[in-house]
Structure 1
Amino acid sequence: MCGIAAILAGTTAPAPVDHGELLCMREHMRSRGPDGAGAWLSDDGRVGLAHRRLAILDLSEAGAQPMASACGRLHIVFNGEIYNHRALRSELEQQGSHFRSHSDTEVILELYRRHGPAMLDRLRGMFAIVLWDEDRQGMLLARDHFGIKPLYVADDGITLRAASQVKALLAGGGVATDADPAGHAGFFLWGHVPEPHTLYAAIRPLAAGSWMWAGVDGRRDHGRFFDLGAEMAAARPATDDGQTLRDALAESVRLHLESDVPVGVFLSSGLDSTTLAALTTEAAAIPPQTVTLGFKEFIGTARDEVPLAEQVARAYGTRHQTCWITAADFTQARRQLLADMDQPSVDGVNTWLVARAARQTGLKVALSGLGGDELFAGYNNFTTVPALRRRVAACSAPPAFGRLVRRMTAPWIGRLTSPKAAGLLEYGGSWGGAYLLRRALFMPWELDRVMDADMARAGLRRLAPLEALESAVANLPGDRLKLSALETSFYMRSQLLRDADWAGMAHSLEIRTPLVDVGLFRAVLPLIVGANPPGKLAMAAAARPPLPESILNRPKTGFFVPVAQWLGESGLRSWATTIHADHCKSAAHHD
């Protein structure tokens, strides 16, 4: 895990790579890699790669980056972990390859040397890759299947810049800070900035499961090695023989324990993290460290995770620590938290706090249950969104009538119930509209109240949220797959995974997600489209010995942090305006 930065100055660029800019980008990401730093410039000055290292695999200098191939023609910076690197290394050695380190980075170099970009789908892990190919005079950029690791690109066709964080690109000083209306409108719409946007028109995330080729001659090519919707649409049903699901889960956890430093577990009282704790204890050589957050505001309520999490820790013999968080802690940490937040998000506080607690125990790596709800239909959206769509669609109200009702009720309905209620008839009859009603922070007609009206309109035109949502489910059969695609492609990718990256890296902690794994996904997908699709209880049944009944029978509450209470507000909308204002202030600083 680390922070990476790269600059490619094409042949028509007025100047070679600015070494100072490259180092500014790198040093802005110091917390992502406190264990070492490196940089490389090509002989002609047209290519620069930089790296901050968090040493987890091959702690020696042999694993340092930027790394060159033995022939010296390939150079790479890489952020992430390749969990099947041992199997790939063994295969390559049988084919005659020789290695100078035990790192997964060198395996990527050798795979590319033999197979080019076709090697990307063979990588099982989380990754953002920038690789310079001297012979082809071009740069390969790639991002893992689900977008666990970020890679942001600013490319004017002449000079390309890339980095692990938006703020790192800004810190270099070479990227324009003109606003992207879709990024700003998207933040208020969702509570996070939806891909493929950022707050800045010049900066875009590389799409998950895709690669980009940038030549010094200005040529740009793009390709995909993984398409979530296509894989779902092509899935063929299978039946679990009672062992398939458990084996797939156990394998993913075992692979995610690949590390030369201890690996801990974020432990709540939910099925995802408790199952991971059980499987980790089964697979690990020594009992893992587990970490739970507790909040005084929740003691004695259903939202108090501590008693059940501590019960699970005792049951599986983990080395457990509960960290209690107060309003005063939040107030004290608030300024640093906002500074660490790479893109605005209303939902990253919990991850930032638990990552801090884990790092304070001495951990550099922790497993998170993120992704279990998306894969195993844990959210109530899996039932409420289809039900809402069916009910509203049955009304057969013409679109104009829905719009009229919304315009008439929007000014006052918020005093009685959720402001979203005004749009039930207008939005609720389609998959995209019903999902937007459930997940949106502000609805489209509310945006001009919290941001510039012209920017809101321009942003909504570019976002086209209903069209984007409908496109994600257009070719998918069944409610389960449709909701899984929506939650995975929108909420998980643009909010949960992004939050896990910046919030973990703020504390030099690598957060791994065994339930967001391409091998697990491909093993479970045939079961999901089969006659008895596995839910959360089927996932939890993988635990050995079984989870306590108090966990299995507990209603889902979600991992909740009382940010609104700490702010003296009734919800997260005011927190969103605070976050947005802070990021706009930061942007003005970089102008």
Structure 2
Amino acid sequence: MCGIAGMFAHRDTALAVDPERLIAVRDAMAARGRDGVGLWIDADARVGLAHRRLSIIDLSDGGAQPMHDAAGRYSLIFNGEIYNYQALRAEMEAQGHRFASGSDTEVLLALFAAHGPAMLPRLRGMFAFAIWDAVERRMTLARDPYGIKPLYYADAQGRIAFASQVKALVADPSISREPSPAGLTGFHLMGSVPEPFTIYCAIRAVPAGSWITVDAKGVGEPVRYASVAQAIAEGRNGGAVDVAEALRDSVRHHMVADVEVGAFLSAGVDSGALVGLMRDCGAQRIRACTLAFPEFAGTPADEVPGAASVAALYGVEHHVRQVSAEEFRGDLPAIFAAMDQPTIDGINSWFVSKATRELGLKVALSGLGGDELLAGYSTFRTIPQTRRVFGPVAHVPGAGSASRGLLKLLAPGLLARNPKLAGLLDLPRSWAGTYLLRRAVLLPFELDGAMDPGMAALGLAELDPEGLIAATMTPDPGSANGRVAALESCNYMRNQLLRDSDWAGMAHSLEIRVPLVDFTLLQALAPILPGLTPGAGKAMLGNAPSARCPTRS
């Protein structure tokens, strides 16, 4: 896990790369990589790459970045992990390729040199990278299928700058800080800024599962190579699935490291089953961390008793970290400083990352993603129900606006207590609208009370929230569960849960790995998704370890 940054003056009239500005962007991400720094600028100062290293695989200088191939044609900066790099390396060695290091970075570089972006579907991991081709004078930016690892860019006056964090990019004074109406509106609607927008007009996210090229013609359109919705659609008619083996396989890959791998442990089945699977995969020592809040002691919200039972079941070294109200308040300034973009969540991730890093760990597995993968959320029931019951009425022209007017007139108190009632006869006209109704913090017609009306109008026009959401379930996954899985994975999970895990973990130089957010695992389990009934998916997860995990979700 690392922080990457770069600049490319792709237009002849653009200013040369300024080393001081590139270093400022890189070092704004110091917490992402405290084990090493790297900087490379080409001879004519048209291209610059910079790196902050958190060493996880090949701790030697052989894994240092920027990394260049032997011929001097390709230069790479890379954030993340390629979990199947050993198998990919063996294939290339069988073809005669020789490697100088034991790093996954060198394997990634060699694969790109041999196959270009066509190699992307072969990568199993979480990644964001930039590769410079000195012969073609072309930069390629790419992200993993789920968008676990972030990558942002800003293109202005013929020069593109890119980095792992939005806040790092604006350390370059040439990048505008003009607020984005779409980004602000999206935050007020959903509690996080939806990709590809950011909080600034000038900065965009490289879309998940996509690559972008930049050359003398400018910044190209994103090219998608992987889609969650498509994986679900293609797998829905598959055959029998060995769920336990598919889960073990993912955990086995996510344990690949040259440092100790720990775990976050709550009372839920997601993290508990992962710890059990870690033991089944041969982990000898497992240290797991659970947060304890004095205010929750003895209540159903207290995670400690359940987590302690799971730890005892699997023989885990269980570390319970108390978080007091004083520490909570004291950390708030640092939390907001580390928060890359506005979010209504992430504080729990901050404290569990902090506590895990205090144990000396650099890597921890998280159970994030189990609800999206295995139909665990209540939305797998409520979204199809709402769509089925209210969808036909919502197609009646004017039904939504008329119902809102009547509610305001005849039942203002009821509307004040249940503001989403105002969208029931409007938004369920589509799956995307129904998802917005169920997941939104505020609905579009509520924005005027929360932000400047003019800004809200501009933001809604640019954002097109229903269109943006609908794109995440295209092509049609083909079943109710499949549609909700795509919607939850590519909206709530991607824009909030994964992003919060990234900034909160990286603030403490901790790599958070998510075995349940794995594209290969999704492809393996897609055939069972349409038929999952409430609770069935989590039961399968709990049954996956050789010693069954209790199924509190």
Match of 2:246 among 239, 245, 248: 248
User: Partners in 1 of 2:182 and 2:262 — Cα distance?
Assistant: 38
Q: Pairwise mapping of residues 299-318 of structure 1 onto structure 2 (< 5 A)?
A: 299-318=297-316
* Counterpart in the other structure of 1:86: 86
* Counterpart in the other structure of 1:367: 365
Letter of the structure 1 residue corresponding to residue 160 of structure 2: L
Instruction: Give how far 1:14 is off.
Output: 3.5
* Counterpart in the other structure of 1:541: 543
Instruction: Give how far 1:397 is off.
Output: 7.1
Match of 2:262 among 250, 264, 270: 264
Instruction: Give how far 1:337 is off.
Output: 0.1
Letter of the structure 2 residue corresponding to residue 320 of structure 1: H
Instruction: Give how far 1:418 is off.
Output: 2.5
Normalising by structure 2, report the TM-score: 0.96
* Counterpart in the other structure of 2:515: 514
Instruction: Give yes or no for contact 2:41–2:49 (8 Å, CA) kept in 1.
Output: yes
User: Partners in 2 of 1:298 and 1:343 — Cα distance?
Assistant: 29
* Counterpart in the other structure of 1:480: 481
- Which stretch of the first structure deviates more once superposed, 447-456 or 373-382? 447-456
Give the total of aligned pairs.
549
User: Partners in 2 of 1:35 and 1:373 — Cα distance?
Assistant: 34
User: Partners in 1 of 2:469 and 2:2 — Cα distance?
Assistant: 33
**Residue 539 of structure 1: SS of its match in structure 2?**
helix
CA-to-partner distance for each residue in 1:185-204, whole Å, 9 max, x for gaps? 00010000001100111100
User: Partners in 2 of 1:48 and 1:451 — Cα distance?
Assistant: 39
Instruction: Give yes or no for contact 1:268–1:292 (8 Å, CA) kept in 2.
Output: yes
User: Partners in 1 of 2:116 and 2:470 — Cα distance?
Assistant: 34
* Counterpart in the other structure of 1:110: 110
Cα distance change of structure 1 residues 364 and 479 upon mapping to structure 2, 3 Å threshold: same
**Residue 172 of structure 1: SS of its match in structure 2?**
coil
Letter of the structure 1 residue corresponding to residue 220 of structure 2: R
Instruction: Give yes or no for contact 1:74–1:131 (8 Å, CA) kept in 2.
Output: yes
Q: Pairwise mapping of residues 80-479 of structure 1 onto structure 2 (< 5 A)?
A: 80-156=80-156, 158-216=158-216, 218=218, 220=220, 222-240=222-240, 244-393=242-391, 395=393, 398-410=396-408, 412-413=412-413, 417-473=417-473, 475-479=476-480
CA-to-partner distance for each residue in 1:31-90, whole Å, 9 max, x for gaps? 000111010001111000000000111111111111111112111100000000000000
User: Partners in 2 of 1:219 and 1:171 — Cα distance?
Assistant: 22
Instruction: Give how far 1:398 is off.
Output: 2.4
Letter of the structure 1 residue corresponding to residue 119 of structure 2: M
* Counterpart in the other structure of 2:53: 53
* Counterpart in the other structure of 1:6: 6
Letter of the structure 2 residue corresponding to residue 251 of structure 1: D
Instruction: Give how far 1:227 is off.
Output: 1.9
**Residue 207 of structure 1: SS of its match in structure 2?**
coil
Instruction: Give how far 1:433 is off.
Output: 2.3
Cα distance change of structure 1 residues 218 and 473 upon mapping to structure 2, 3 Å threshold: closer
**Residue 354 of structure 2: SS of its match in structure 1?**
helix
Letter of the structure 2 residue corresponding to residue 60 of structure 1: S
**Residue 322 of structure 1: SS of its match in structure 2?**
strand
Instruction: Give how far 1:259 is off.
Output: 0.5
Question: Is structure 2 residue 76 aligned with structure 1 residue 76?
Answer: yes
Instruction: Give yes or no for contact 2:415–2:422 (8 Å, CA) kept in 1.
Output: no
**Residue 79 of structure 1: SS of its match in structure 2?**
strand
User: Partners in 1 of 2:298 and 2:470 — Cα distance?
Assistant: 42
Cα distance change of structure 1 residues 455 and 246 upon mapping to structure 2, 3 Å threshold: same
Gaps of 5+ in 2: none
Instruction: Give how far 1:323 is off.
Output: 0.9
Instruction: Give yes or no for contact 2:387–2:428 (8 Å, CA) kept in 1.
Output: yes
Instruction: Give how far 1:531 is off.
Output: 8.4
Question: Is structure 2 residue 64 aligned with structure 1 residue 64?
Answer: yes
Question: Is structure 2 residue 19 aligned with structure 1 residue 19?
Answer: yes
Instruction: Give yes or no for contact 2:14–2:158 (8 Å, CA) kept in 1.
Output: no
* Counterpart in the other structure of 1:559: none
User: Partners in 2 of 1:277 and 1:250 — Cα distance?
Assistant: 11
User: Partners in 2 of 1:219 and 1:308 — Cα distance?
Assistant: 51
CA-to-partner distance for each residue in 1:227-276, whole Å, 9 max, x for gaps? 222222222423436xx111111011011011111001110011110100
CA-to-partner distance for each residue in 1:101-133, whole Å, 9 max, x for gaps? 100000011001111110111110000010111
Instruction: Give how far 1:403 is off.
Output: 1.0
User: Partners in 1 of 2:250 and 2:174 — Cα distance?
Assistant: 41
Instruction: Give yes or no for contact 1:6–1:49 (8 Å, CA) kept in 2.
Output: yes
Instruction: Give how far 1:543 is off.
Output: 1.3
- Which stretch of the first structure deviates more once superposed, 429-438 or 141-150? 429-438
Instruction: Give how far 1:519 is off.
Output: 1.2
Letter of the structure 2 residue corresponding to residue 423 of structure 1: G
Gaps of 5+ in 1: 557-591
User: Partners in 2 of 1:525 and 1:331 — Cα distance?
Assistant: 43
Instruction: Give yes or no for contact 1:148–1:498 (8 Å, CA) kept in 2.
Output: yes
Cα distance change of structure 1 residues 15 and 313 upon mapping to structure 2, 3 Å threshold: same
Instruction: Give how far 1:410 is off.
Output: 5.0
Cα distance change of structure 1 residues 33 and 400 upon mapping to structure 2, 3 Å threshold: same
Instruction: Give yes or no for contact 1:132–1:138 (8 Å, CA) kept in 2.
Output: yes
Letter of the structure 2 residue corresponding to residue 300 of structure 1: G
Cα distance change of structure 1 residues 396 and 516 upon mapping to structure 2, 3 Å threshold: closer
User: Partners in 1 of 2:11 and 2:400 — Cα distance?
Assistant: 55
Letter of the structure 1 residue corresponding to residue 497 of structure 2: L
- Which stretch of the first structure deviates more once superposed, 218-227 or 69-78? 218-227
* Counterpart in the other structure of 1:562: none
Letter of the structure 1 residue corresponding to residue 548 of structure 2: P
Letter of the structure 2 residue corresponding to residue 418 of structure 1: N
Letter of the structure 1 residue corresponding to residue 270 of structure 2: D
Instruction: Give yes or no for contact 2:235–2:527 (8 Å, CA) kept in 1.
Output: yes
- Which stretch of the first structure deviates more once superposed, 291-300 or 252-261? 291-300
Instruction: Give yes or no for contact 1:257–1:284 (8 Å, CA) kept in 2.
Output: no
* Counterpart in the other structure of 1:491: 492
User: Partners in 2 of 1:481 and 1:316 — Cα distance?
Assistant: 33
User: Partners in 2 of 1:413 and 1:401 — Cα distance?
Assistant: 21
Instruction: Give how far 1:529 is off.
Output: 4.0
User: Partners in 2 of 1:364 and 1:410 — Cα distance?
Assistant: 54
Instruction: Give yes or no for contact 2:231–2:522 (8 Å, CA) kept in 1.
Output: no
- Which stretch of the first structure deviates more once superposed, 111-120 or 231-240? 231-240
**Residue 171 of structure 1: SS of its match in structure 2?**
coil
Instruction: Give yes or no for contact 1:296–1:326 (8 Å, CA) kept in 2.
Output: yes
- Which stretch of the first structure deviates more once superposed, 276-285 or 27-36? 276-285
Cα distance change of structure 1 residues 35 and 472 upon mapping to structure 2, 3 Å threshold: closer
User: Partners in 2 of 1:266 and 1:151 — Cα distance?
Assistant: 25
* Counterpart in the other structure of 1:586: none
User: Partners in 1 of 2:507 and 2:282 — Cα distance?
Assistant: 27
Letter of the structure 2 residue corresponding to residue 364 of structure 1: K
Letter of the structure 2 residue corresponding to residue 528 of structure 1: L
Give me the CA root mean square deviation. Answer: 1.8
User: Partners in 1 of 2:332 and 2:13 — Cα distance?
Assistant: 41
User: Partners in 1 of 2:338 and 2:319 — Cα distance?
Assistant: 25
**Residue 222 of structure 2: SS of its match in structure 1?**
strand
Question: Is structure 2 residue 513 aligned with structure 1 residue 502?
Answer: no
User: Partners in 2 of 1:410 and 1:504 — Cα distance?
Assistant: 44
* Counterpart in the other structure of 1:582: none
User: Partners in 2 of 1:329 and 1:240 — Cα distance?
Assistant: 50
Instruction: Give how far 1:442 is off.
Output: 1.1
Cα distance change of structure 1 residues 396 and 216 upon mapping to structure 2, 3 Å threshold: closer
Instruction: Give how far 1:528 is off.
Output: 2.1
User: Partners in 2 of 1:144 and 1:6 — Cα distance?
Assistant: 19
